[in-house]
A and B are shown apart, each in its own frame.
Chain A
Amino acid sequence: MTRRVRIGLFLPALAGFGALLVWAYTGIPSFGDYQGPYGFVLEKISAPLRHMDNVVNATTYDIRGIDTMGEEFILFAAVIGVVLLLRDDAGRSQDVEDDIGSDVVRVFGTLAIGAAILVGLWLVANGFVTPGGGFQGGVAIASGGLLLYLVAGYREWSAFGNETVLDPIKAIGAGGYVVIGLAALVGGLPFLTNFFGGGDIGTVWSGGSAGFVNWSAGIEVAAANVLLFSEFLEEYIVPIARGS
């Protein structure tokens, strides 16, 4: 398909899309006038019934938990796709010359690793109290891991940023989610029922079994992202090592 044909197809498609969009927009409540019942119901029940202050995460990990499981598997499948495409049979190069010259980078980078991972853990732990939760905390932990590459170089990074370490962790994250769901089934309850009940509201213990769902999502997202960074860094490192 040439460029001209593509743009030729784009214009009528845009017109059709625009017409549908205008049609859809005529039925939408005007901005700020949201009338839907679900949100209001959730806001009323989350804190009294589930002991969770953060209604968004109560929705994500408890009330809408099965849907989030689907999203987590999208994540899982996409990372597997990346790994299959990028993982090289030629083996990783251990003798890469990538010394970090700057002391400033080393000092502040090392401090930043701890800070980023701590913030990530804090975000996951307090997911039902303050903004945060498994998904955001997981990415924050992974970016803390990425800093290790910037501070210490590829060799130190590859000590933990490799598939032998990460694949099981990632599988525990994704599998743990399902196991918690199945545990409810064993107890005679529907899949992913929050079987522990509340917990102390406003603390890291609030959330019952959804707290474990939250943590398994955090583990899954953190491991998936470290694995992703690892595959991409390898893709970046190896050609340089061969070229020199």
Chain B
Amino acid sequence: MSFLPYAVAAWVCIVGIYGIVTSRNLIHLALCLTVMQSSTYLLLLAIGYVKGGGPPIYKGVKLGTKSVDPVVQALTLTDIVVSVTVIALILALALDVHKQAGTVDPDEIREMRG
């Protein structure tokens, strides 16, 4: 059963890609991208998990207490905050496409010229 957390990460990633591929709406597509991105958080945190470990914060805890890996957490938490601006950028592009082409369906905008 110990592979289950990794399997869930892979599953979430595949679900996200499936959503992106079959999407009929650029806003829907942007949210599918956040779902896909959340799989990286799941994978990183699962790798850094130590059985029986607490959070790597030693306020009021004796130093040397078993705790989970802090490096992957540092990677993940900045990733999450940066993802907001990236999603905003994608949505801004989608709004621009809507302004130019009058639609947010990726299938209908293929004739668009720059």
Chain A contacts to B: CB under 8 angstroms: 1-3, 6-7, 10, 14, 17-18, 21, 25, 28-34, 36, 38-40, 42-44, 46-48, 53-60, 64, 68, 71, 74-75, 78-79, 81-82, 85-86, 129-131, 133, 135-136, 138-139, 202, 221, 224-225, 228, 231-232, 235
Contacts and interface: CB of A to CB of B under 8 A. Distances in A.
Q: What are the 8 A-B residue pairs with the smallest beta carbon separation, nearest first? A: A39-B69, A32-B51, A78-B85, A55-B56, A55-B70, A59-B74, A85-B92, A53-B59
Interface string B77-96: 11101101110110111011
8 contacts: A14-B14, A38-B69, A47-B58, A57-B74, A78-B85, A129-B59, A221-B81, A228-B85
Contacts of A232: 88, 91
Nearest to A81: B89
Nearest to B110: A1
Interface SS, B side: helix
Contacts of B17: 10, 14, 17
A54 B57 contact: yes
Interface in B31-54: 46-52
B60 to A, nearest CB: 8
B59 A31 contact: no
Given A81-B89, A221-B81, A56 B5 contact: no
B12 interface: no
Interface in B84-114: 84-86, 88-89, 91-93, 95-96, 107, 110
